[in-house]
Amino acid sequence: MSRFIMVLRWLVFSLLVLLAASASARVASYEGRVLRVVDGDTLVLRSSYQVVRIRLAEIDAPEHDQPYGTEARNALANMVNGRMIRIVAIGHDRYGRVVARLYADGLDVNAALVEEGSAWVYPQYAHDPNLYTAQREARNAGRGLWAQENPIPPWEWRRRQHGYFR
C-alpha cells in the first residue's frame, strides 16, 4: 500500500473522529437565556453561539387552542422567562427543535410542569419514572389541568382537532 493511501486513510479516519466528537458536543449540556416562550412545552433561547428552538423532553403540554393551553404557556413562562437556564439536550425532533430537559436555578422545569399539572407525561417519549409519579400526584390532588372534569391529552387533542400527531 502506498504511503499516499495510508496518509489519506489516516486523514479520513481523523476527520470522522472529529465529526463524531462535534456531533456529540451538540447533544450535551449548555446554557442559554430564554427569549420567548412559544407554548407550554416549546421556547426559544439564545445560547452563546446561536438562537435555538427548544422542545421540552418527555412531556406534552396542552395546545394553545386547547383548554388549559394558555395557563400551561404561562406556567412555563413564569419558570424561565428572561432567565439563564441549563439545557441538557437529548436530540432533535422532526421539526428541527432541540429536545431537552431544562433546569432553572436547579429546578427541573420539565418535572415541575408535570408536578403542578401544566403538562402530561408524554408516554411515547418518557423514560424518567419520576415524571409518572409526579403526574399521578398532580392528578390525585386535582392540580392544574387535572382540575378539569375530563382533560384530553395533547396528542389526542391534535389528532381530533387537526388530524396529526406531534
- Which tens digit of pLDDT belongs to each residue from 65-87? 999 999 999 999 999 998 889 99
Active site residues: 55, 63, 97
| CATH number, domain 25-162, options 2.60.40.180, 3.30.450.20, 3.40.50.1220, 2.40.50.90 | 2.40.50.90
32: β partners: 47, 85
- pLDDT of 139 > 90? The answer is yes
- pLDDT of 20 > 60? The answer is no
Share of the chain above pLDDT 90, in %: 73
pTM, two decimal places: 0.81
Counting runs of H as helices and runs of E as strands, what totals does the chain give? 5, 8
- The Cα-based distances of 134 to 6, 104, 115, 118 in angstroms read 57, 18, 5, 11
Mean pLDDT along residues 100-121 = 97
- pLDDT of 2 > 90? The answer is no
